[in-house]
């Protein structure tokens, strides 16, 4: 079965896949040197399927080996449109970048869309797993969580979907800490999964919320394990670019580019990108940090 979806132009599948590291985290899968992207997806009826995505002239095509119901196809279309931000429009941002050489090629490359997971629960878990660790640690912890708690793709027992919140919720801190090896993040992930599973926290509602940026940020930082950096990252994934993902790398790059390498504080980074207003997170993210 093949499903075709169109995107608001300009669109570049490669730019979305390479927008940040998410494509390297399970249950996403990429093949070195190839432009396609796979994802192990669990439908609402618990069926697990593999989505093989590749670029088409107008958007993306999704190849699926398994038989899927009409409702399932609808669900997949909605999920992929969200994951690849197919319907987002960045023209206003592109117009602003024309006068900035460090952002000179973003429109040409159709950059701006950030790859996201089907659910905000998954993106929140993954974001927490990026904090205070190396990238290899994030890959390891995500893989471990998916392998241990995900549902297997039929016939391919080595490939799993991202775990349902309930699966993690029914686990315990000791298992997550010592077997999944999430370390001190274990209670954060467990608490998040239990809140979502119990219906006390409706993360998915935030995807289409009319909350202000500040309200959204406050809501996200109320989650244990989500601080300023993690909340800003999640807001970017939600299409709000008014917060900056300031980590140690950001402080280093901004210091080198704007402050002659002197020590700086997060407020200094904010100040540099303030002129970009509601697009400042994206301006920072897509900035060409290479030396001229």
DSSP 123-155: HHHHHHTTTTS-HHHHHHHHHHHHHHHSPEETT
Q: Least distance to DNA from the beta carbon of 190, Å?
A: 13
Q: Least distance to DNA from the beta carbon of 10, Å?
A: 30
Q: Which is nearer to DNA, 47 or 219 (CB)?
A: 219
Q: Which is nearer to DNA, 4 or 179 (CB)?
A: 179
Strand residue runs (E) in 33-99: 37-42, 48-55, 59-63
Among 169, 239, 250, residue whose Cα is nearest residue 210: 239
Q: Least distance to DNA from the beta carbon of 171, Å?
A: 15
Q: Are 162 and 43 in contact (CB under 8 A)?
A: no
Binding site for DNA (CB under 7 A): 131-134, 136-137, 140, 177-178, 181, 183-184, 221, 223-231, 247-249
Q: Which is nearer to DNA, 99 or 184 (CB)?
A: 184
Taking the alpha carbons of 247, 280, 22, 32 in that order, is the dihedral positive or negative?
negative
Q: Which is nearer to DNA, 212 or 222 (CB)?
A: 222
Longest distance between any two alpha carbons in the chain, whole Å: 59
Q: Are 90 and 9 in contact (CB under 8 A)?
A: no
Q: Least distance to DNA from the beta carbon of 225, Å?
A: 5
Centre a 10 Å sphere on the Cβ of residue 29 and count the other Cβ atoms it contains: 16
Q: Which is nearer to DNA, 12 or 233 (CB)?
A: 233
Q: Least distance to DNA from the beta carbon of 266, Å?
A: 10
């Amino acid at each position: 079965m093949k499903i075709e979806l169109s995107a608001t132009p300009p669109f570049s599948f490669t730019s979305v896949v390479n927008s940040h590291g998410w494509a390297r985290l399970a249950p996403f899968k990429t093949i070195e040197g190839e432009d396609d992207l796979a994802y192990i997806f669990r439908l609402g009826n618990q069926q697990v399927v593999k989505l093989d995505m590749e670029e088409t002239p107008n958007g993306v095509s999704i190849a699926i080996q398994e038989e899927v119901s009409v409702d399932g196809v609808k669900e997949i279309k909605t999920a992929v449109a969200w994951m690849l931000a197919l319907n987002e429009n960045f023209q206003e941002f592109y117009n602003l970048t024309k006068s900035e050489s460090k952002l000179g090629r973003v429109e040409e490359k159709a950059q701006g869309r950030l790859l996201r997971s089907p659910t905000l629960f998954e993106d929140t878990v993954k974001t927490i797993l990026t904090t205070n660790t190396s990238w290899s640690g994030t890959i390891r912890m995500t893989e471990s969580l998916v392998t241990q708690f995900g549902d297997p793709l039929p016939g391919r027992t080595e490939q799993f979907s991202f775990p349902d919140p309930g699966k993690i919720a029914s686990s315990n801190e000791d298992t997550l800490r010592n077997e999944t090896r999430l370390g001190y993040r274990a209670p954060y992930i467990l608490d998040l999964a239990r809140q979502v599973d119990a219906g006390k926290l409706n993360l998915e509602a935030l995807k289409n919320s009319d909350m202000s940026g500040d309200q959204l940020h406050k809501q996200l930082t109320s989650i244990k394990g989500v601080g300023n950096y993690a909340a800003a990252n999640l807001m970017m994934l939600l299409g709000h670019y008014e917060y900056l993902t300031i980590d140690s790398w950001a402080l280093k790059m901004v210091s080198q580019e704007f402050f002659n390498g002197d020590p700086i504080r997060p407020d200094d980074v904010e100040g540099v990108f303030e002129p970009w207003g509601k697009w400042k997170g994206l301006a920072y993210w897509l900035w060409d940090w290479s030396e001229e």
